[in-house]
Amino acid sequence: MVNAAYAIVAFPLLGFIINLVSGRRLGEPAAGWVGTVAAGGSFVSTLIVWVTMLGRPADNRFADLTIFTWFPVAGLHVNAGILVDPLSMTMALFVTGVSTAIHMYSIGYMHRDPGFDRFFVYLNLFLFSMIVLVLADNFLFSFLGWEGVGFCSYGLVGFWFQRQTAAVAAKKAFVTNRVGDVGFLLAMFLMFAHFGSLNYSSVLGTLSHGHATGLLVAAPGAIKGTTATAITLLLFLGAVGKSAQIPLYIWLPDAMEGPTPISALIHAATMVTAGVYLMVRVAPLLHYAHATSWVIACVGAATALLAATIACSQDDIKKALAYSTISQLGYMFLAVGAGDYVDGVFHMLTHAFFKALLFLAAGAVIHALADHQNMKEMGGLRKYLPITAVTFGVGWLAISGIPPLAGFWSKDAVLSSAWQMNKVLWVIGVFTAGLTAYYMSRQFALVFTGQARWEEARPAAVASHEQHEAEGHDAVEGHEATGPGLPAPAHAEARPKDPTWTMSVPLIVLAIAAVLGGGINFPAWHMDYLTRFLSPLFPAGTSVTISTGTKWALSLLTTAVALTGLGLGLSTWRTAEHPRLEPNFLRRAWYFDALVSATVSGPLRLAASGLAFVMDRKVVDGLVNGTARALGASGRALRHLQNGYVRTYALGIGVGLVVLLAYLTFRVGN
Amino acid sequence: MTVPGAWYLVLAACLFGIGAVGLLVRRNILVMYMCIELMLNAVNLTFVTFSRMLNDLGGQDAVFFILVVAAAEVVVGLGIIVSIYRRRSGATADDISSLKG
Amino acid sequence: MSLLAVTHLASASAWAVYAVGALMALAGAAGVVLQRNPVHCALALVTTIFGIALLFIDQGADFLAAVQVIVYAGAIVILFLFVIMLLGVDRKEQRAPEKLKGLIPVAVLVGVVALAELLVLVRVHYWATGSKAGAGALNGPGENVQKLGQSIFTAYLLPFEMTSALLVIAVVAAVVLVRRPSPAPPGPERRTVVGGREPARSGPAPAKATVAERSAPTGRGSGASSGAEQSGPTGEVVR
């Protein structure tokens, strides 16, 4: 039943259209359920296709379906087609799965928001675009999805567009993405120039042994190193923009202006992983471009470290998680750069689970505290939000790399491949792991343990609790009618409580996934399912080959570092005031934004004003006005020929006579 | 043996040149007019010279007609000059400059 | 003995005649250009005309020489002198400063260059085609006057008629040009409305008179200026 793959694409598109046309009429919560059912249908279809694939032998898990011919232009034939292969199935599985969970979560989270239907319209459109991105069988169709998710990100980050900061953040996200997209486009041009086509089978498949099924195994001599380096570097530029690596990560922290489900879905689990997916997809090309692999690994490691340092001093609960996302994405790229594509995908999977979990739990906290996001004004919430605290705790341990949760296995695998590639990178990775544990523990401590600082910040909350109990009004719902940051209506201030079932169930599901996720690629007892599933795709000789003893030693060391960080974080942050640990340059993210403003927008503004005031006013207007002035001046000059004096006219005749005679003389003389 | 025709042509050319320069240089309208007559005379001389050189009577016919036309032209021109001079005496060619751009 | 026989003089005398004629012509030309007093210029012009006449005779154009003297020297230059005397131009020296500075040098330059080119053209006269006009040969039997008359009244009859008409037109033009506009007649019936007709006048309505109409030497004539009421049917005073 491979044809179910069409349904994977069709379901979210259908949901999008239904909500677009009649979302307002459907209203809450029907529009939300439409979206969730669409996402769920997509997930079920993916499962069907996946099971079908599993039924086939390992080297034949491949199908290429064409939806329609997009454009056949001379020399370039582009289909809207679906490629079903292990990598795309893996991506589709977790994208649709996490999306379904978050769709359901959003029904509760966006309760009473006036833009409820619009939210689900965008959400389904986003899912559709992401599916297209991961399932496309050629670069151009994938680019369509790439741009689609960028657009949906813009629409959703700026969902509460009445807020100036949200609108600006949405614009920033989109524009920064576009900077990366230039790389993608140029890479496509190069690909077309070299291969004559943009299909995966043509570009990546020609690098195979010409296997009839088009599986991607590298063949020697099919492409020059410089071309491959150029293409992959340009693609990496696109990935840097989409996946928030240095230097194009500046949009992701600001994108936290969007609703928390969006942060969970787009900016943790799916859209930002598109860049990693892209680089994994072009693994055959990377085989020929070792320089690019080094670049990817170094950029990934540097980003991981930088973001982790910044996350240590953020006050906003979502911004801290945003920097954490950037850092973990750096890990994924580190793995990809080291050639260990499987573990890059593995970390992507586990990260999707625990980061989405963390975001959703943070959303529950924000919801409970009536849209207050400053961690310094939280504390001691585990008494009031037990489910949230437990799930957040699971996520915290997972991301810190504590065995036997999922994050430990994937991060360990990434670090092993880093050790194999370059010890310095490994050191950076381990240090970053320690920092990760530290700042996540800080976050947990600030939010859930210690003093209940939120009581001092808003003493009215406790007092109005009885009043709300009498009204039977659930404290969690009803305050997002105005959105975070806008003054919350007074009736919403109440004792924090755990969220409704639509929001809790996804939390629990994701927590379970975060605990058991290590089983996807357990390095022992033949449970390395993911490796075996994906291995036909990747060129031989890229797996990690270090001895088991070394691996255990490294794991122990990493775990020790993580535990140290964890302990430090927990103990230090029982109280909330440690100004020396939060220097200004970290709070301001190493002043990178200011740097970008100075170096990019400063010269751009200069160039724009130069063009406007110099080029436009002086040159263009000068040309036009100057022509008019020149004509006037020539008229005024020529006017002196008609001065009314007969003698000058006679002189003119005389001159004409001279000319005529000259002509006669010299003509006759010849 | 008569004087070669070229000499007459040279003389006519010189007369024409002098007449042209005089026309441009003098400001008294009547004197300018006389210079015009001078140029006409030079042309007449040229015609007659060519008539002799080419053994053709057409040149003399041309002179005949040129004389007639010159006479008519003088009449009209002097009429114009008189009507101009009526308005102000002592006017020179430079004073009639109202047709300027 | 025709004057043609005179042309068969010895070289020296031919040159002498040429020299005298040329000298007279040039001297007169210089005088026209350089003399201050217009009357002197007119007299210099007469000298030029005589010189040209001499050269005409030298080249066998007897009739033309005579006509030249009679018409040019005897009528045209006299006319010039009439006007000079009439307008009193000779009394005033041209004291006004030269408004067009730089004109004189340029003019002289233009003249010199034109002259030079003419001389060059004289030298390289390859463009004389030598095709004959329909007038007949210059030399040959018959007097100059006879041949000239024959050619005019047969071959060039149309130009002859046209030039005669031209002369008539010139006369008329002269009369018209120097006519002063007549003043408005004072009368009790005169309306002050411009453009309105005077009903008492029973004469023909004022029409645009053509020149031909006015050529008839009658004292009466309607106003030639179209629509101007002040030119009533009064006699024009021709000055």
pLDDT surpassing 90 at residue A37 = yes
What does DSSP assign to residue C221? -
Read off the pLDDT of each residue in A380-403 and give the average, rounded to a whole number.
87
> Residue A62, Cα to own-chain centre: how many angstroms?
27
Confidence of residue B66 (pLDDT cuts 50, 70, 90): very high
Establish if A658 touches chain C: CB-CB under 8 angstroms: yes
Mutate to test the interface with C, among B33, B44, B75 (most CBs of C within 10 A): B75
Separation of alpha carbons C4 and C19, rounded Å: 19
Read off the pLDDT of each residue in A20-48 and give the average, rounded to a whole number.
89
Residues 6+ apart with CB under 8 A from A571: none
Residue C224: predicted pLDDT: 39
For residue C118, the chain A residues in CB contact (below 8 A) are: 661
A503 and A643, same domain (yes or no): no
CB contact under 8 A, C106 and A651: yes
Give the number of beta-carbon pairs within 8 Å between B and C: 246
Residue B63 is assigned to a structural domain of this protein: yes
- Sign of the Cα torsion C85, C90, C94, C96 reads negative
Residue A206: predicted pLDDT: 54
Q: Of the candidates B24, B96, B101, which has its C-beta nearest A650's C-beta?
A: B24
A61 and A82, same domain (yes or no): yes
A328 and A282, same domain (yes or no): no
A242 and A186, same domain (yes or no): yes
Domain that holds residue B70: 28-88
Q: The tokens 């992983």 sit on which residue?
A: A273
pLDDT surpassing 60 at residue A140 = yes
Distance from CA of A636 to the nearest CA of B (A): 9
For residue A670, the chain C residues in CB contact (below 8 A) are: none
Q: Where are the domains of chain C?
A: 1-94+142-155, 166-182+208-215
Q: Of the candidates C104, C122, C167, which has its C-beta nearest B68's C-beta?
A: C167
Establish if C171 touches chain A: CB-CB under 8 angstroms: no
Q: Of the candidates B22, B57, B65, which has its C-beta nearest C32's C-beta?
A: B22
pLDDT surpassing 80 at residue A478 = no
Establish if C79 touches chain B: CB-CB under 8 angstroms: yes
A147 and A116, same domain (yes or no): yes
CATH number of C1-94+142-155: 1.20.120.1200
For residue B93, the chain A residues in CB contact (below 8 A) are: 645-647
Checking ipTM against 0.95, whether it exceeds it is: no
What domain count does chain A have? 3
Establish if A647 touches chain C: CB-CB under 8 angstroms: yes
Domain that holds residue A649: 598-669
Separation of alpha carbons C236 and C140, rounded Å: 55
Separation of alpha carbons A228 and C73, rounded Å: 105
Separation of alpha carbons C206 and C222, rounded Å: 6
Distance from CA of B20 to the nearest CA of A (A): 8
Residue A516 structure tokens:
């058991």
Q: Of the candidates C103, C118, C126, which has its C-beta nearest A651's C-beta?
A: C103
Lowest-pLDDT range of A196-205, A434-443, A455-464, C8-17: A455-464
Collapsing DSSP states into helix, strand and coil, what is residue A21?
helix
Residue A589 is assigned to a structural domain of this protein: no
Average pLDDT value over all residues in chain A: 82
Residue B8 is assigned to a structural domain of this protein: no
Strand partners, A84: A63
Residues 6+ apart with CB under 8 A from A239: A180, A245, A274, A275, A276, A278, A279, A333
What domain count does chain B have? 1
Residue B35 is assigned to a structural domain of this protein: yes
Residue A240 structure tokens:
């840097």
Lowest-pLDDT range of A572-576, A639-643, B67-71, C18-22: A572-576
What does DSSP assign to residue A316? B
For residue A646, the chain C residues in CB contact (below 8 A) are: none
A524 and A624, same domain (yes or no): no
Establish if A661 touches chain C: CB-CB under 8 angstroms: yes
A137 and A233, same domain (yes or no): yes
pLDDT surpassing 70 at residue A214 = no
Distance from CA of C189 to the nearest CA of B (A): 33
- Check if the beta carbon of residue A385 is closer than 8 Å to that of residue A364: yes
- Sign of the Cα torsion B65, B69, B72, B74 reads negative
Residues 170-189, chain C, touching B (beta carbon < 8 A): 170-171, 173-174, 177-178, 180
pLDDT surpassing 80 at residue A564 = yes
Q: Which of A583, A610, A627 is the last residue of a domain?
A: A583
- Render pLDDT for A300-357 as a digit per residue (tens, 0 to 9): 999 999 999 998 888 888 999 999 999 999 999 999 998 888 888 889 989 988 898 9
Q: Within 10 A of C96 (CB to CB), how many other CB atoms are there?
A: 13
- Render pLDDT for C113-161 as a digit per residue (tens, 0 to 9): 888 888 887 777 655 566 666 666 777 667 788 888 888 898 889 999 9
Read off the pLDDT of each residue in A449-457 and give the average, rounded to a whole number.
74
pLDDT surpassing 60 at residue A221 = no
Residue C166: predicted pLDDT: 94
A95 and A242, same domain (yes or no): yes
Residue C86 structure tokens:
């009439």
CB contact under 8 A, C59 and B80: no
Read off the pLDDT of each residue in A231-239 and give the average, rounded to a whole number.
92
pLDDT surpassing 60 at residue C206 = no
A338 and A267, same domain (yes or no): no
Read off the pLDDT of each residue in A373-401 and give the average, rounded to a whole number.
85
Give the chain A residue nearest B22 (alpha carbons).
Answer: A647
Establish if C118 touches chain A: CB-CB under 8 angstroms: yes
Question: Taking Cα atoms as reference points, which of B21, B28, B33 lies closest to residue B71?
Answer: B33
Residue B46 is assigned to a structural domain of this protein: yes
Read off the pLDDT of each residue in A109-122 and give the average, rounded to a whole number.
88
For residue C111, the chain B residues in CB contact (below 8 A) are: 17-18, 20-21, 24
Residue C100 structure tokens:
């067009």
Tell me which amino acid residue C37 is.
N
Separation of alpha carbons C157 and C169, rounded Å: 19
pLDDT surpassing 50 at residue B94 = yes
Residue A232 is assigned to a structural domain of this protein: yes
Q: Of the candidates B20, B94, B101, which has its C-beta nearest A642's C-beta?
A: B101
For residue B45, the chain C residues in CB contact (below 8 A) are: 52, 55-56
pLDDT surpassing 60 at residue A445 = yes
For residue A637, the chain B residues in CB contact (below 8 A) are: none
Question: Taking Cα atoms as reference points, which of A361, A373, A364, A371 lies closest to residue A484?
Answer: A371
Establish if A636 touches chain B: CB-CB under 8 angstroms: no
Residue A276 is assigned to a structural domain of this protein: yes
- Check if the beta carbon of residue A323 is closer than 8 Å to that of residue A313: no
Burial group, residue A395, by CB count within 10 angstroms (0-12, 13-18, 19+): buried
Separation of alpha carbons C162 and B45, rounded Å: 23
pLDDT surpassing 90 at residue A271 = no
Separation of alpha carbons A544 and A551, rounded Å: 10
- Check if the beta carbon of residue B38 is closer than 8 Å to that of residue C48: yes
pLDDT surpassing 60 at residue A489 = no
CB contact under 8 A, B96 and A646: yes
Q: Which of A552, A583, A614 is the last residue of a domain?
A: A583
Mutate to test the interface with A, among C103, C106, C117, C122 (most CBs of A within 10 A): C117
* Higher-confidence position of A435 and C211: A435
- Render pLDDT for A11-29 as a digit per residue (tens, 0 to 9): 999 999 999 998 888 877 8
Lowest-pLDDT range of A235-239, A606-610, C89-93: C89-93
Separation of alpha carbons A426 and A439, rounded Å: 20
For residue B24, the chain A residues in CB contact (below 8 A) are: 647, 650-651, 654
CB contact under 8 A, B18 and C107: no
